[in-house]
Structure 1
Amino acid sequence: MEPLDLPLTTDRLRLRTYRESDAEEQLRIFSREDVAQFLLEDPWTTEVARTKVSERIPRTGLETESRALALVVETADGLEDIEGSRVIGDIAIWLDNDSDEKAEVGWILDPAASGHGFATEAAIAVLNVAFDHYGLHRVFAQMDARNTTSANLAKRIGMRQEAHLRKDLWSKGEWTDTLVFGMLSSDRHQA
């Protein structure tokens, strides 16, 4: 499998691999209670941010030992509504444990950057890579059922809701529901 040509660029975004200096910018996003609310982890501290970013630095492609691609989402320079380029989130894709043809995708974006279509743009770019570059058969996303913003994004990019698992995950002191969305490579050709 050929290494992926990075960074990925879209009309308004640059999706690049992690570097140590990203800890501070990602801390600004991941330390927010409203961001961590539906995640499996608590809001980040400075130390957690350093550790998480260090873990993500080697995730440079599905063909690598990590079997994962973790990307920082940045706005491109020169956007009229946002001054300069800045980090607005994270998007990652990782191979399923039992298959080289299935992968899970996940995204976290700064709520302050919502409403501009950035999450949609980033997610479509990653799905394109998953199917066109890596030739995957299936990509899926799982999320807390209360996370309607994330569920709406999955629908917007053409993923289909495949399951609503009731009280299947113990998270932060309570049983929570999980939504599962999926997309097959064949789904893209029917759209």
Structure 2
Amino acid sequence: MASLNFPLRTPRLALRPHREADVDWLYRVYSRPDVSRYLLDEPSSLEDAQKRISERIPRDDLDGGHGSLSLVIEREHLPIGDVLLWFTDREHRVAEIGWVLDPDHGGQGFATEAARAVLDLAFSHYRVHRVAAQMDARNAASAKLACMAGMHREAHLRQDWWSKGEWTDTVIFGKLASD
């Protein structure tokens, strides 16, 4: 399979692998309580952000050793979020996608544009059969993004996840290569 050339470009964005210099914006975004509210982790410390960067830097090829792709979303050369794609079943080409966008850049369709680009990449370049997105059911913005990116709501699991001291619901969206 041909290797990817980074950055991947959309009409308004560039998507590229993480690098060490991303730690400051990653910390700034992931330390925000309004960002971490629906994520599995508490707001990040600087140490958490440094660990997250070191884990994400080698994740630059879905078919690589880590079975994942972790890309920074840039707008006019400034990082504004990230989108991740990882195999949940490499043998059968099933993956999951996740995204985080700096709320200061929300409401402009940037996360949707990035998610669509990564979904297109999953199906056209990596020949993935299915991509799922799982999220806290209270995260209406993320659910809307999944729909806008062409994913279909497939399930609502009631109180299936213990997170931050409470039972939460999970909604699952999916997209097939044949959609």
When normalised by structure 1's length, the TM-score is: 0.91
1:99 match: 91
Pair 62,11 (structure 1): closer, same or farther in 2 beyond 3 Å: same
* Deviation by residue 1:141-181 (Cα, 9 ceiling, x = unmatched): 00000000000000111100110000000100111000000
Q: 1:131 aligns with which of 123, 128, 135?
A: 123
- Return the letter of the residue paired with 1:131: F
Q: 2:109 aligns with which of 96, 108, 117?
A: 117
Shift, 1:99, TM fit: 3.5
Q: 1:160 aligns with which of 135, 152, 155?
A: 152
Pair 175,183 (structure 1): closer, same or farther in 2 beyond 3 Å: same
- Return the letter of the residue paired with 1:7: P
* Deviation by residue 1:81-137 (Cα, 9 ceiling, x = unmatched): xxxx31100101001146341100000001110111101110111011000101111
Matches within 5 A, 1:9-28: 9-28=9-28
Matches within 5 A, 1:24-39: 24-39=24-39
Report the Cα distance in structure 2 between the residues aligned to 1:5 and 1:136, rounded to whole angstroms: 19
Report the Cα distance in structure 2 between the residues aligned to 1:115 and 1:38, rounded to whole angstroms: 18
Contact conserved, 2:92 with 2:129, CA < 8 A, in 1? no
1:67 match: 67
Shift, 1:31, TM fit: 0.5
Report the Cα distance in structure 1 between the residues aligned to 2:20 and 2:89, rounded to whole angstroms: 27
Contact conserved, 1:69 with 1:93, CA < 8 A, in 2? yes
Unaligned runs of 5+ in 1: 77-84
Report the Cα distance in structure 2 between the residues aligned to 1:134 and 1:97, rounded to whole angstroms: 13
Runs of 4+ residues deviating >4 angstroms: none
Secondary structure of 2:178's match?
Answer: helix
* Deviation by residue 1:22-67 (Cα, 9 ceiling, x = unmatched): 0101111100000000000010111110000000000001111010
Contact conserved, 2:83 with 2:98, CA < 8 A, in 1? yes
- RMSD, aligned α-carbons: 1.0
Contact conserved, 1:60 with 1:69, CA < 8 A, in 2? yes
Secondary structure of 2:20's match?
Answer: coil
- Return the letter of the residue paired with 1:138: R
Contact conserved, 1:3 with 1:63, CA < 8 A, in 2? no
- Return the letter of the residue paired with 2:124: D
